Amino acid sequence: DGPAQKQNTVNQLLVLIYLYK
């Protein structure tokens, strides 16, 4: 569950940056 949660956070960050761009 640890790695999966971390990847989820990274994905959310990428989406945020993509939207912010």
What pLDDT, on the 0 to 100 scale, is given for residue 4? Answer: 75
Q: What is the pLDDT of residues 1-17, one digit of tens each?
A: 567 778 889 999 999 99
| Spatial separation of the C-alpha atoms in residues 15 and 9, rounded to whole Å | 10
* Among the listed residues 12, 3, 4, 10, the one whose alpha carbon sits nearest the alpha carbon of residue 20: 12
pTM metric for this prediction:
0.43
Q: CA-to-CA distance for 20 and 1, rounded, in angstroms?
A: 28
pLDDT of res. 8: 87
